Amino acid sequence: MKKMFLIPLIITLAVGLVFGGCGESTTPTTPTTPTTPTTPTTPTTPTTPTAPAEPTAPIEPSFASVEPTVSGMHKLYAEWANKVMDQTQGKANITIYPSSSLSATTEMWASVTGGVCDIGFTNSAVEAKRLPLTSAFTLSDAHVPTGLTGLSIWEDLFDKFPEIRAEFQDVKILFPFAATVSTLHTTNKLVRVPDDIKGMKIVGSGYQIEYIEFAGASPVSLPPPEWYTALDRGLTEGLIVPYTAMETFGTTELFKYHSEVYYGPAIMFVFMNIDVWNSLSPDIQRAFEDIQPWASEEFSNYAGFARGTRIKGECQDLGHTIYQPTDEEIKLWDSVCGAPMTSKWMEETEALGKPATEVYEEVIRLVGEYTK
């Protein structure tokens, strides 16, 4: 907020006669020739006293979330917002709009960069086409083993390749966090090999759509709030997401089978409109950045392995079938779906003038380094 200040006016009073009529001298003075009287100075209007400055009102960034208010993620978002409030001493009061009430997942990037909201949430799977180099570590035949490993690899890639940093030039990443690898969850049929999925309608996003198509299934693109209805009515027969996403959007009870066919992990991003970020004072920016390590760790822990393992156990308790493909079956998935998907990604990304081959080779090198 700009503060207005009143500039004091210096009033200069013209004096007509020096010492005239102001007192008597003990030594008589020689009379002087009378001077022409000066024109009296017009009195000035007294200035209004400067009012005390009003306290600066806190900024109130809007945060578009897809999470329902009953979810643990929403509660964690609220905890993060409270930390920002405390760290900025009340200067930044984030307002959370849950349940896709301000923006759907598929529209989140446009909503944040277009000013519909100040802060949003997305992930590397949903934004695979917008963030093609970032998507390199999510390709299934790269075999990044866990979400946390994926996050470490992405951070290494972000530091090394300016082309990856350029993918985020319109936004400010407030914090990234990891999710578990995605699993194929189906309602009425166990899927072991690519032939089993032919003809099925499967919900996916990003490069998962190509993966589904190479397997001979029909990909369906739906925002998370519509998953339950589509699955319950038989409009779709499966979903490719981490176990944690099933719990968040209440679809766990609808599945009977979980095939741990490898689709790669995703990285989640909470991000801000870059113009809004640049408008923040340095102390508020510093507060967001100081909280970032805590947020990345807490959200990765919640969305990651521990929670995924718990939900997987609950599925077993419900009598669901959880299938781990054999090594030969994994090789079959890689040859039928993984390798063709990677080739398509590489061709499309290189056509954009981006170093896809170099980035992918670095992903493979880093996987070896982090898993040895």
In a domain? residue 159: yes
Q: What angle do CA 258, 224, 179 make, to 5 degrees?
A: 60
In a domain? residue 50: no
Q: What angle do CA 277, 205, 141 make, to 5 degrees?
A: 105
In a domain? residue 44: no
Residue 270, pLDDT score: 98
In a domain? residue 277: yes
18-50 pLDDT, tens digit each: 333 333 333 333 334 334 444 444 444 444 444
Mean pLDDT of 184-206: 94
In a domain? residue 157: yes
In angstroms, what CA-CA distances link 237 with 190, 202, 294? 11, 6, 38
Calpha distance 176→128 (Å, rounded):
15
pTM (predicted TM-score): 0.79
106-160 pLDDT, tens digit each: 899 999 999 999 999 999 888 988 999 999 988 888 888 888 898 999 999 999 9
One DSSP character per residue, 300-329 reads HHHHSHHHHHHHHHHHHHTT-EEE---HHH
Strand-pair category, 267-273 with 201-203: unpaired
In a domain? residue 221: yes
Residue 235: which of 187, 295, 288, 169 has the closest Cα? 187
63-96 pLDDT, tens digit each: 999 998 988 889 999 999 999 999 999 999 999 9
305-350 pLDDT, tens digit each: 778 889 999 999 999 999 999 999 999 999 999 999 999 999 999 9
Q: Model confidence at 367, in pLDDT bands (50, 70, 90)?
A: very high
Residue pair 131/166 in contact (Cβ under 8 Å)? The answer is: no
Structural domain boundaries enclosing 118: 62-371
Helices (DSSP H) in the chain: which residue ranges? 72-87, 108-113, 147-160, 162-166, 194-197, 208-214, 227-232, 243-248, 274-279, 282-303, 305-317, 327-333, 339-351, 356-371
Residue 56, pLDDT score: 63
Answer left, alpha or beta for residue 252, where phi above 0 means left and psi between -120 and 50 means alpha: alpha
CATH of residue 141's domain is 3.40.190.170
Residue 1, pLDDT score: 40
Calpha distance 100→222 (Å, rounded):
13
Q: What angle do CA 158, 179, 101 make, to 5 degrees?
A: 100
Residue 248 reports pLDDT greater than 80: yes
Residue 205 phi/psi, 5-degree rounding, is: -150, 160
Answer left, alpha or beta for residue 264, where phi above 0 means left and psi between -120 and 50 means alpha: left
Residue 217, pLDDT score: 95
State both tokens at 41: 């100075």
Q: Hey, is 275 helix, strand or coil?
A: helix
Question: How many domains are contained in the chain?
Answer: 1
Residue 2, pLDDT score: 36
In a domain? residue 249: yes
